[in-house]
Amino acid sequence: MENREHEKELLMKVLITGNLPEEVLALIQKEHEIVFHPENRPLDRNRLLAMVADREGLLCMITDRVDVALMKEASGLRMIANFGVGFDNIDVGAASDRGILVSNTPDVLTDATADLTLTLMLAVARRVLEGDRMTRAGEFRFWAPMHFLGQEVSGKTLGIIGLGRIGRAVARRAKGFHMEILYHSRRRLGSVHEKDLGVTYCELDKLLARSDFVSMHVPLTSVTHHLIGREELAMMRSSAYLINTSRGPVVDEEALLVALRDGVIAGAGLDVYEHEPDLTPGLAGLQNVLLLPHVGSATIETRTNMGLRAARNLMAGLRGERPPDCLNWGKPQ
């Protein structure tokens, strides 16, 4: 009887705002009572506020705005586990003030996002999407030596902005294409690590001027917001491509639209957008930009591992333990 009472005391109420793999749900259900959003679309804001009101745990998606208003509704909230490495959707300071732990899911999406970065580079340089559309439309009628030319990736210069986990993974892949790799980052690597990775540090303006491909891998902060704008795009080669798989607002999308339209740069490959999911008017009509629906981590393996990692963070926090990926441990509690 005492054991049953103890188990009952440990049982807490958890809201999961996305449709996650069954093994993730089953793991959390071992210790807690769950309610989850079963649809493959963001949870409506009003429903989110209503559903979170009596919850101690929240496993949220990057599309959920977890702000002061939500925390006031959920007065008993103890743990917020974000399903994603970025956490600009959560007011971490407000959570800390209320004694709520917050975690994210780093590491597990590194390879998938790095793979997609190379996919965008190759696809935009070789005009893959344009070729697919032309072929489907029945317009492929002949082969000619100067028809439908793109640019090679092998042997070109890649500029990586932000050399964190994903940036380093992109660099390792780019070595396979015999690319010269420049990087600009808040913290410079030591010379031994630079040599091992095969990268050369550059100030941002020099990186932009020298690179055939510029790939963004920075978090979204007040410093990185519009890190690439009109002036930075003007520094790039007219034959260069901009790739962004990080956060949409690190690029001034209106300035990018103008640069693509006017031939300031050759093209772009985007997986994220400044006003996601909305696009800057006119962007979708351009032929020299490849647009993907934020699928950087969208592999079966990665999304499952993200869910399991978020679940383990959540469960640790609800036990009163430090979550492995806690963002605010030791802050005001």
Q: Catalytic amino acids?
A: 247, 276, 294
What are the residues whose beta carbons fall under 8 Å from the beta carbon of 271, sequence distance 6 or more? 116, 120, 244, 245, 292, 293, 294, 295, 296
- Nearest partner of 125 among 249, 252, 265, judged by Cα: 265
- Nearest partner of 106 among 81, 80, 72, judged by Cα: 81
Q: In 149-277, where do the E strands start and end? A: 157-161, 180-184, 199-201, 213-216, 241-244, 267-270
By the 8 A CB rule, do 227 and 202 touch? no
By the 8 A CB rule, do 48 and 92 touch? no
- In the chain, the amino acid numbered 284 is A
What are the residues whose beta carbons fall under 8 Å from the beta carbon of 20, sequence distance 6 or more? 36, 59, 83, 307
CA separation, residue 258 to residues 39, 285, 290 (Å): 37, 12, 15
Q: Judging by DSSP bridges, how do beta strands 157-161 and 213-216 pair with one another? A: parallel
Residue 103's H or E segment, with its range, is: strand 101-103
CA distance 207 to 251: 16
- In the chain, the amino acid numbered 283 is L
CA distance 129 to 119: 12
- Nearest partner of 127 among 295, 292, 268, 264, judged by Cα: 268
Q: What number of residues does the chain have?
A: 333
CA distance 230 to 253: 10
